[in-house]
């Protein structure tokens, strides 16, 4: 979430596109209803717009009535729009096009439209770029350009051959890149050395800025890669005009055909969006927002897996970012795009980089052949390459020269592979060598690699041919996950699990994964983990709030905390020689960290790995005695916090103000008064400032103090602590810098401009391909990862996907009823399917279907005429172990079901309550599912796979849960537990998004038939 | 179908009837939200030795929970934390069942477990001092063993499966034969530690639920 759960209460319109928060995030609904029914007496009421293939319980909340006499009652915009699964991008682009048309049509008469153009054409007074330090081409830092120097600057578009006055005379854009110019063709001529790679088609236009310097040699200061600004967004060739051209490919009638909605739906959503944008807000012209005023307007998007689980999922989220940025709703209380994430600490586990392409704090894996300095140069911080010989150049090896993400990585390298005594460049390079270079493999491929082609025992269609650099995976550790339910195309997943030589599972229950079918020689271990109340630690909510979990008791029975199991695991690995490459490297260092890998790398967390970890005790900063995991977790938390103003040792004397943490997103900036997530000092006035409310509602000047050094333990949740922000700045801690709303540009009262908008301090509508260097001149700097998308149709000049990968474009799901084989028109031939722009695991760049293993069976509409979409319910959770073993949850929802429209029910001979066999190209719900489970002593209870129990809609077709042609099934069930039932993921397709590899769980093709129970 | 055991709980067990009642009350208060209810502790106040604060183990709203614990460590009830700004004491159908999750007799390694649950003895009885793990070969029955012994066997097995790791900047620094899956069910520190163990082991073969 760019905003947070509590902030939802400040919104004036909710666009729920691909989520069902009533069932899956019920806590949000209290805040949503507070805004809708004005429980705070602000004189305004928020609209609810739900766009979804299912008329969910969230969609059923619309049309609660409204007061037609109150112009601030937005509930008149309530609407449910039904769309076909997988068409989100087409719908959002349709709305975007309609908005842009409306803005131009009403430019002369509407204040809102005039505000729209004024905002995008406006120049920024409070942005942080001008007046900040630049880095010149020589790698010199801290070149502050004052107004005189900027006014006298010259610019070159041709690599320095000719010089002209001033693209920056048009003024720095206030918020987004909508006014930046784009190259329409490759630039010819003789560009300079750095410009060569930048002057390419569809990249930002670049210029070199030069200005007189006070250098002794009299040379100019030069800054390459400065962007070029158009005078206004009506200028041909600027980003906004590109976006306008792109959106024009999505006229309402076309979108209605793709999505199965009406043009009236698109117009209604457009009106709701315009009425709740920044441009319609009563504070549009004011310096800071009055977020509780009746006339305040701010719309947010709420989304979850209904936006992401498609082969185009990343572009779908980008489409939300584009429309919200364009409407000025980013960085605004009650606005933003809010990902309603899944498991309670999925934000935290993502922060910790437990993914094949990441290490903690959103740094990528170090690359094969990459040097330490080159890696550091691509992280958020200071430019450390090219190395210059001057005293003002920065070095990746000097602690005080590197900042933010770089500093965190520097500390992490030392804490993970050595210790703080390692400081010399030579020794740091030795530790750098210990990072595994290159990415792992994404989850779908990982299971394929477990089943090599030379093993004839298994299903031929999932065989994988190992190569030297892609060898067979023969062992697997599954710690707190249940992939035998949660991964798509279980036929391939279970074949892989079966063939492992060694499988280790850690869980609270004997899950489907622990008890999966294994080959005769395969060895499986199961380790007992404890519950959430038996172990301490911090967790990060979807809104980035970090809260502390107390240890209410020691782990029950013979179960163990994850910390104890992990430290035992590390110790056993050390004893087994698995860390010998680390100690071997230490022996070659000038200043060796030690000889025992466990003692150096893990002993510092407070437990020597012998006896019981629960017997460990220690004292926290406030003097409280901490036991077991409560103490060990806090030691680790302290290591993570605060690269810029870290804390070591005990007591205030241990606070040395320097560079100590490993997780840069947990850091503060002491000089700027921003406190870190662990911080024994600065208990009062750190960002964002928080003030006491007096009983009469006035604001006291007495700042609210933090009570504890461990900010995750701060729990000032009473209403008065909401203070000005209504954001509870002293409840837990939020990354970054305790910001409760990201990208805020300084307009929240009491807050300051957010330095994290972007390196250029501009929100980016346009994605650049092939270049990461726009920000080279900037003081705050990082490389960008571009998105990897390339539709397999219509990418030529002037066609609908001309800006493929740059602006979000609609592509059909891998299995779609519009594939031309059935009774519906062929839209695949027009809009194409998504592919990876770079070579993927499965095929070359842009090759059709290269986001899916070639061995995955692909169905067509001729054989499988219905769209299958997977869903969730309030009573059960994800893969099921932690609800399908609870009697209360199982009694409320004992069996998996299928939602179908009454028209389809008649067509396929289904009556309400009947068991239905759902069949896809990959499997069916009864016999093939049973065949994929273990036999012998581990056989599950017989008859567990009965199919899905029919819930047939009643009433008019439009008013039923799903439309004709669509069926929905929950995916929580499986073959183990108190409640069992057919698995949805035996059916789902294992095609993955081009960027994230999130599977297309939300759209595949199926047919249905009555099952024989 | 497994045996339903909804009536097997102690005096604070949430029975089926009670649970449905909670749900109905929430549904009736439509403006507050569906399946969303605020309920105080059901523990006998005289037995409560301490009350702790935690967060709900289900979705990422991370609603606040309070945990009432008796002097002997018995968890008496888990209920909504009224001081939490996100949830204000409310819990949904999942969060309200957290007490059942913690006290669940189907958990492995707890004394309440019975062979009737899964057909195996997952109590860990006899391994209280050493900790326990279970092992099977093929699809044969699970056998308990001391945790330390299991850890040694696992570590040796993984090390053998991994082969040599060569520090440096080549692909040989990154082993390609052992896959790890982590978990969003774990706290930040646990995830951090897990990711560190994997990096120390010499591989970037790791994934978890954020991808799915």
Asked if B161 contacts A475 with a C-beta cutoff of 8 angstroms, the reply is yes
* A1004: in domain: no
Q: Say what the pLDDT of residue A434 is.
A: 98
Structure tokens at A913: 């309550």
- Summarised one tens digit per residue, pLDDT across range A882-921 is 999 999 999 999 999 999 999 999 999 999 999 999 999 9
- CATH number, position A56: 3.40.228.10
Cα separation, A270 vs A261, whole angstroms: 14
- Hey, are the CB atoms on B171 and A566 less than 8 Å from each other? no
Surface of A (993-1012) touching B: CB under 8 A? 996-999, 1001
User: For chain A, how far is it from start to end, CA to CA, in angstroms?
Assistant: 44
- Grouping H, G, I as helix, E, B as strand and the rest as coil, residue A450 is coil
Those residues whose C-beta lies under 8 Å from the C-beta of residue A148, and which sit 6 or more positions away, are none
Q: Which tens digits make up the pLDDT trace of A690-707?
A: 776 666 667 676 777 888
Do A457 and A525 have their domain in common? yes
Q: State the best of A412, A469, A558 to mutate against chain B, taking most chain B CBs within 10 Å.
A: A558
Q: Which residues of B touch A572 (CB under 8 A)?
A: 148, 151-152, 154-155
CA angle A270, A271, A276 (to 5 degrees): 100
Whether residue A925 is contained in a domain is answered as no
Same domain for A71 and A148? no
Q: What is the mean pLDDT of residues A580-600?
A: 97
Using pLDDT thresholds of 50, 70 and 90, give the confidence band for residue B17. Answer: very low
Q: Residue with structure tokens 């807000």?
A: A281
User: What is the per-residue pLDDT for A416?
Assistant: 97
Which candidate from A473, A571, A937 shows the least CB-CB separation from B178? Answer: A473
Look at residue A127 in the predicted model and tell me its pLDDT. 44
Of A344, A475, A577, the CB nearest to B161: A475
Residue with tokens 């409840």: A731
User: B107, A528: Cβ pair inside 8 Å?
Assistant: yes
Q: How far is B187 from chain A (nearest CA, A)?
A: 5
pLDDT of residue A507: 98
Contact A351 B137 (CB under 8 A): no
pLDDT of residue A213: 66
Instruction: Tell me whether residues A523 and B185 touch, CB distance under 8 A.
Output: no
| For testing contact with chain A, the best of B189, B198, B203, B205 (most A CBs within 10 A) | B189
H-run or E-run covering A315: helix A313-326
- A137 in B contact zone (CB under 8 Å): no
- Residues 653-712 of chain A with CB under 8 A from chain B are 663
Residues 538..597 of A with a Cβ closer than 8 Å to B: which? 538-543, 545-554, 556-560, 562-563, 566-573, 575-579, 581-582, 584-585, 597
Q: Report residue A168's pLDDT band, with 50, 70 and 90 as the boundaries.
A: low
- Identify whether A331 is part of a domain: yes
The 10 Å CB-count burial string (b at 16+, else e) for A69-86 is eeebbbbbbbbbbbbbbb
Last residue of a domain, one of A759, A780, A801: A780
Residue A122 has pLDDT above 50, yes or no: yes
Residue A466 at interface with chain B, using a CB cutoff of 8 Å: no
Q: How many residues does chain A have?
A: 1013
Would strands A625-627 and A1004-1010 be described as parallel, antiparallel, or unpaired?
Answer: unpaired
Closest Cβ opposite residue B62 in set A446, A539, A605: A539
Same domain, A61 and A98: yes
Q: How many residues does chain B have?
A: 212
DSSP strands (E only) in chain B: 36-38, 50-55, 64-69, 75-80, 90-92, 132-137, 143-146, 178-181, 206-207
Answer yes or no: is pLDDT of A299 > 70.
Answer: yes
pLDDT higher than 90, residue A627: yes
Contact B200 A416 (CB under 8 A): yes
Give the Cα separation of A140 and A220 in Å (integer): 13
Query: Which among B25, B98, B196 is the top mutation candidate for probing chain A, defined by the most A β-carbons within 10 Å of its own β-carbon?
Result: B196
**pLDDT, tens digit, for every residue of A755-782?**
444 545 678 888 765 555 555 555 555 5
Per residue in A4-59, pLDDT (tens digit) is 999 999 999 999 999 999 999 999 999 999 999 999 999 999 999 999 999 999 99
Percent pLDDT > 90 in chain B is: 76
> pLDDT: is A380 or B59 the higher one?
B59
Q: Which of A586, A619, A652 is the last residue of a domain?
A: A619
pLDDT at position A195, please?
44
Distance CA(A123)–CA(A115), nearest Å, equals 13
How many CB atoms are closer than 10 A to CB A186?
10
Residue of B158, B184, B195 with shortest CB distance to A360: B195
In a domain, A846, yes or no: no
Give A575's contacts in chain B (Cβ within 8 Å).
152, 155
Which of B184, B195, B199, B203 has the most A C-beta neighbours within 10 Å, making it the best mutation to test the interface with A?
A: B184
Classify residue A43: in a domain, yes or no.
yes
Q: Are A296 and A44 in contact (CB under 8 A)?
A: yes
Which pLDDT band, with edges at 50, 70 and 90, does A659 fall under?
A: very low
Q: Which residues 719-748 of chain A have a CB within 8 Å of chain B?
A: 722, 728, 731
Identify the weakest region by mean pLDDT among A225-229, A475-479, A985-989: A225-229
Burial zone of A149 (CB within 10 Å; 0-12 exposed, 13-18 middle, 19+ buried) = middle
- The predicted structure's pLDDT at residue A534: 98
CB A439, CB A838: distance < 8 Å = no
- Asked if the C-beta of A472 comes within 8 angstroms of chain B's C-beta atoms, the answer is yes
- The token pair at A407 is 């500093």
Same domain (yes/no): A12, A106? yes
**Residue partners of A445: CB distance under 8 A and separation at least 6:** A841, A853
Q: What is the mean pLDDT of residues A818-834?
A: 97
**% residues pLDDT > 90 (chain A):** 66
pLDDT for the residue numbered A132: 53
Q: How far apart are CA A193 and CA A137, in angstroms?
A: 11
Q: What is the mean pLDDT of residues A74-80?
A: 98
Which residues of chain A have a CB within 8 Å of the CB of B99? none
For domain B16-102, the CATH superfamily is ADC-like domains (2.20.25.90)
Quick one: pLDDT at residue A175? 80
A286 in the same domain as A385: no
- Going A129 to A131 to A132 to A133, the CA torsion angle's sign is positive
Domain count, chain A: 5
Q: Residue A283 and residue A115: Cα distance in Å, rounded? A: 11
Q: Which residue blocks in chain B are alpha helix, DSSP H?
A: 16-28, 98-102, 115-118, 147-162, 188-201
Same domain flag for A471 and A572? yes
Specify whether A27 is located in the same domain as A95: yes
CA distances from B25 to A27, A286, A393, A684, B12 (A): 16, 45, 66, 42, 19
Residue A917's H or E segment, with its range, is strand A915-920
A211-262: pLDDT as tens digits:
876 556 667 778 777 778 888 999 999 999 999 999 999 999 999 999 999 9
A62 lies in a domain? Answer: yes
- Residue A359: closest CA among chain B residues belongs to which residue? B195
A557 and A456 belong to one structural domain: yes
Under an 8 A CB cutoff, do B210 and A354 touch? yes
Question: How close is the nearest chain A Cα to the Cα of B168, in Å?
Answer: 4
Name chain B contacts of A417, Cβ cutoff 8 Å.
Answer: 199-200
Query: What is the residue extent of each domain of chain B?
Result: 16-102, 164-212
Please tell me which residue of chain A has the smallest CA distance to B147.
Answer: A527
Predicted pLDDT at A770: 52
Are A42 and A74 within 8 A, CB to CB?
A: no
CB B35 to CB A438 under 8 A?
no
Output the DSSP codes for A717-785: -SGGGGTTTTS-TTBSEETTTT-SSSS-TT-STT----TTS-TTSSB-SSPPSS---GGGGBSSB---P
| Residue among B133, B187, B181 at smallest CA distance from A486 | B181
Pick B1's closest partner by Cβ from A508, A525, A941: A941
Tell me whether residues A552 and B14 touch, CB distance under 8 A: no
**B-interface mutation test, from A19, A429, A479, most B Cβ less than 10 A away:** A479
The whole domain housing A376 covers 366-432
The pairing of strands A13-17 and A221-227 is unpaired
Check CB contact of A624 with chain B, cutoff 8 Å: no
Sort out which chain A residues have CB atoms less than 8 A from B177's CB and list them: 471-475
Give A340's contacts in chain B (Cβ within 8 Å). 59-61
From B203's Cα to the closest Cα of chain A, the distance in A is: 6
Query: In whole angstroms, what is the distance from residue A832 CA to residue A809 CA?
Result: 10
Residues A495 and A453 grouped into a single domain: yes
A456/A569 same-domain check: yes
Which tokens belong to A327? 């409407």
* pLDDT over 90 (residue A750): no
User: Do A29 and B75 count as a contact with CB atoms less than 8 A apart?
Assistant: no
Cβ contacts (< 8 Å) between B194 and chain A: which residues?
352, 354, 479, 562, 566
Of the residues A432, A451, A473, the one at which a domain ends: A432
| Domain co-membership, A496 together with A538 | yes
Please answer whether residues A957 and A903 qualify as being in contact, where contact means their C-beta atoms are separated by less than 8 angstroms.
Answer: yes
Q: Which residue has the tokens 């493999």?
A: A441
How far off is chain B from A546, nearest CA to CA, in Å?
A: 9
Name the band, by pLDDT with cuts 50, 70 and 90, for residue B25.
very low
Instruction: Looking at the structure, tell me whether residues A58 and A158 fall in a common domain.
Output: no
Q: Which tens digit of pLDDT belongs to each residue from A174-201? A: 788 899 888 887 766 544 434 444 567 7
B16 pLDDT exceeds 70? no
Asked if residues A550 and B78 have their Cβ atoms less than 8 Å apart, the reply is no
- Looking at per-residue pLDDT, the higher value among A751 and A473 belongs to A473
Could you say which of B62, B83, B111 has the minimum Cβ distance to residue A717?
B83
Q: Considering only the beta carbons, identify the residue of A369, A520, A559 that sits closest to B107.
A: A559
Nearest residue of chain B to residue A24 (CA atoms) = B59
> Cα torsion at B184, B189, B192, B198 (round to 10°)?
-90
- Cβ-Cβ contacts under 8 Å, A434 against chain B: 167, 173
Number of H helices, E strands in chain A: 25, 30
Residues A207 and A895: their CA atoms lie apart, in Å, by 63
Is A1005 inside a domain boundary? no
For residue A22, give the chain B residue with the closest CA: B34
Confidence (pLDDT) at A206: 79
pLDDT at B8: 35
Contacts of B157 in chain A (CB under 8 A): 475, 501-502, 523
Answer yes or no: are the C-beta atoms of A788 and A995 closer than 8 Å: yes
C-beta neighbour count of A126 within 10 angstroms: 11
């Amino acid at each position: 979430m760019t905003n947070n759960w509590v902030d939802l209460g400040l919104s004036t319109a909710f666009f729920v596109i691909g989520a069902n928060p009533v069932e899956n995030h019920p806590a949000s609904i209290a805040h949503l209803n507070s805004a809708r029914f004005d429980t705070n007496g602000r004189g305004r009421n928020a609209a609810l717009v739900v766009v979804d293939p299912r008329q969910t319980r969230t969609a059923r909340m619309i049309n609660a009535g409204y007061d037609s006499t109150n112009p601030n009652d937005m509930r008149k915009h309530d609407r449910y729009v039904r769309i076909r699964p997988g068409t989100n991008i087409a719908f959002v682009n349709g709305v975007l096009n309609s908005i842009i048309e409306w803005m131009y049509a009403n430019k002369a008469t509407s204040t809102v439209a005039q505000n729209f153009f004024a905002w995008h054409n406006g120049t920024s007074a409070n942005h942080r770029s001008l007046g900040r330090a630049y880095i010149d081409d020589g790698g010199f830092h801290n070149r502050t350009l004052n107004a005189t120097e900027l006014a006298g600057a010259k610019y070159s578009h041709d690599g320095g051959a000719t010089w002209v006055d001033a693209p920056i005379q048009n003024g720095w854009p206030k918020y987004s890149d909508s006014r930046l110019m784009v190259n329409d063709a490759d630039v010819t001529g003789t560009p300079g050395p750095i410009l060569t790679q930048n002057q390419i088609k569809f990249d930002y236009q670049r210029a070199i800025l030069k200005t007189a310097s006070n250098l002794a040699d009299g040379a100019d200061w030069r800054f390459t890669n400065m962007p070029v600004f158009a005078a206004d967004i009506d200028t041909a060739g600027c980003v906004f005009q590109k976006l306008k051209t792109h959106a024009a490919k999505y006229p309402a009638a076309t979108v209605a055909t793709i999505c199965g909605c009406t043009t009236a739906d698109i117009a209604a959503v457009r009106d709701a969006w315009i009425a709740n944008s920044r441009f319609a807000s009563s504070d549009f012209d004011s310096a800071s927002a009055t977020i509780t005023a009746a006339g305040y307007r701010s719309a947010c998007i709420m989304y979850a897996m209904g936006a992401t689980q498609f082969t185009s999922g990343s572009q779908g989220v980008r489409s939300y970012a584009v429309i919200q940025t364009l409407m000025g709703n980013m960085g605004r209380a009650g606005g933003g795009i809010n990902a309603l994430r899944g498991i309670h600490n999925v934000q935290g586990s993502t922060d910790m980089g437990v993914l094949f392409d990441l290490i903690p704090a959103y740094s990528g894996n170090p690359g094969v052949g990459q040097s330490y300095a080159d890696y550091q140069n691509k992280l958020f911080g200071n430019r450390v390459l090219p190395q210059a010989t001057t005293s003002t150049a920065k070095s990746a090896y000097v602690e005080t020269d590197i900042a933010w993400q770089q500093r965190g990585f520097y500390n992490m390298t030392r804490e993970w592979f050595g210790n703080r005594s390692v400081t010399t460049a030579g020794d740091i390079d030795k530790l750098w060598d210990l990072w595994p270079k290159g990415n792992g493999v994404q989850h779908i491929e990982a299971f394929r690699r477990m089943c090599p082609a030379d093993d004839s025992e298994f299903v031929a269609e999932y065989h994988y041919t190992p190569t030297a650099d892609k060898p067979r995976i023969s062992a697997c550790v599954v710690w707190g996950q249940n992939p035998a339910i949660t991964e798509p195309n279980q036929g391939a997943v279970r074949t892989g699990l079966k063939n492992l030589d060694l499988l280790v599972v850690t869980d609270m229950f004997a899950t489907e994964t622990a008890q999966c079918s294994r080959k005769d020689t395969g060895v499986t271990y199961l380790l007992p983990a404890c519950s959430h109340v038996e172990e301490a630690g911090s967790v990060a909510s979807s809104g980035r709030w970090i809260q502390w979990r107390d240890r209410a008791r020691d782990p029950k029975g013979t179960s163990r905390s994850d910390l104890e199991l992990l430290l035992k695991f590390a110790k056993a690995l050390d004893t087994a020689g698995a860390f010998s490459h680390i100690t071997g490297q230490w022996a070659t260092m000038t200043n060796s960290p030690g000889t025992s890998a466990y003692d150096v790398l893990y002993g510092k967390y407070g437990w020597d790995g012998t006896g019981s970890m629960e017997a460990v005790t220690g004292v926290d900063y406030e003097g409280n005695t901490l036991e077991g995991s409560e103490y060990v977790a806090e030691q680790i938390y302290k290591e993570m916090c605060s690269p810029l103003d870290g804390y070591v040792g005990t007591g205030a004397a241990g606070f040395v103000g320097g560079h100590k943490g490993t997780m840069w997103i947990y850091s503060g900036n002491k000089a700027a008064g921003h406190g870190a997530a662990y911080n024994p000092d600065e208990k009062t006035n750190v960002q964002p400032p928080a003030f006491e409310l007096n009983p009469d509602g006035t604001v006291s000047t007495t700042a609210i103090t933090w009570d504890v050094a461990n900010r995750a333990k701060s729990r000032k949740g009473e209403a008065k602590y909401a203070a000005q922000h209504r954001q509870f700045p002293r409840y837990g801690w939020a990354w970054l810098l305790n910001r409760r709303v990201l990208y805020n540009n300084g307009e929240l009262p009491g807050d300051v401009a957010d330095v994290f908008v972007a390196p250029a301090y501009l929100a980016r509508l346009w994605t650049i391909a092939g270049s990461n260097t726009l920000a080279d001149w900037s003081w705050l700097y990082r490389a960008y990862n571009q998105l990897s998308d390339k539709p397999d149709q219509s990418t030529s000049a002037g066609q609908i996907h001309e800006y493929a990968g740059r602006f979000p474009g609609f592509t059909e799901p891998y299995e779609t009823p519009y594939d031309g084989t059935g009774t519906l028109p062929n839209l695949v031939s027009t809009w194409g399917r998504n592919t990876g722009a770079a070579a993927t695991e499965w095929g070359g760049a842009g090759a059709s279907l290269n986001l899916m293993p070639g061995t995955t069976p692909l169905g067509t509409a001729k054989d499988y005429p219905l769209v299958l979409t997977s869903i969730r319910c309030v009573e059960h959770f994800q893969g099921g172990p932690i609800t399908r073993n609870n009697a209360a949850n199982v009694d409320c929802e004992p069996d998996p079901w299928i939602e179908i429209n009454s028209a389809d029910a008649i067509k396929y001979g289904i009556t309400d309550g009947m068991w239905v066999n759902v069949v896809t190209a990959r499997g069916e719900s009864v016999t093939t599912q049973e065949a994929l489970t273990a036999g012998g002593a581990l056989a599950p209870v017989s008859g567990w796979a009965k199919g899905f129990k029919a819930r047939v809609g009643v009433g008019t077709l439009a008013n039923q849960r799903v439309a004709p042609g669509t069926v929905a099934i929950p995916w929580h069930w499986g073959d183990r537990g108190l409640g069992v039932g057919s698995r949805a993921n035996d059916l789902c397709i294992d095609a993955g998004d081009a960027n994230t590899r999130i599977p297309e769980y939300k759209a595949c093709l199926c047919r249905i038939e009555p099952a024989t129970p | 179908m497994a045996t339903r055991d909804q009536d097997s709980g102690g005096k604070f067990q949430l029975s089926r009837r009670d649970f449905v009642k909670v749900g109905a009350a929430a549904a009736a208060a439509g403006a507050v939200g569906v399946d969303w209810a605020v309920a105080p502790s059901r523990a006998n106040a005289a037995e409560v030795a301490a009350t702790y604060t935690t967060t709900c183990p289900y979705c990422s709203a991370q609603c606040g929970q309070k945990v009432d614990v008796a002097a002997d460590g018995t968890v008496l009830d888990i209920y909504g934390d009224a001081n939490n700004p996100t949830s204000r004491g409310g819990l949904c159908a999942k969060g309200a069942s957290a007490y059942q999750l913690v006290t669940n007799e189907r958990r492995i390694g707890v004394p309440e477990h019975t062979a009737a649950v899964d057909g195996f003895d997952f109590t860990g009885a006899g391994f209280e001092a050493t900790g326990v793990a279970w092992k099977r070969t093929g699809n044969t029955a699970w056998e308990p063993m001391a945790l330390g012994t299991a850890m040694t066997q696992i570590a040796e097995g993984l090390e053998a499966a991994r082969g040599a790791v060569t520090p440096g900047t080549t692909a040989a620094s990154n082993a390609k034969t052992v896959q790890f899956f982590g978990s969003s069910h774990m706290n930040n520190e646990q995830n951090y530690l897990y990711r560190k163990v994997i990096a120390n082991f010499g591989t970037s073969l790791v994934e978890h639920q954020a991808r799915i």
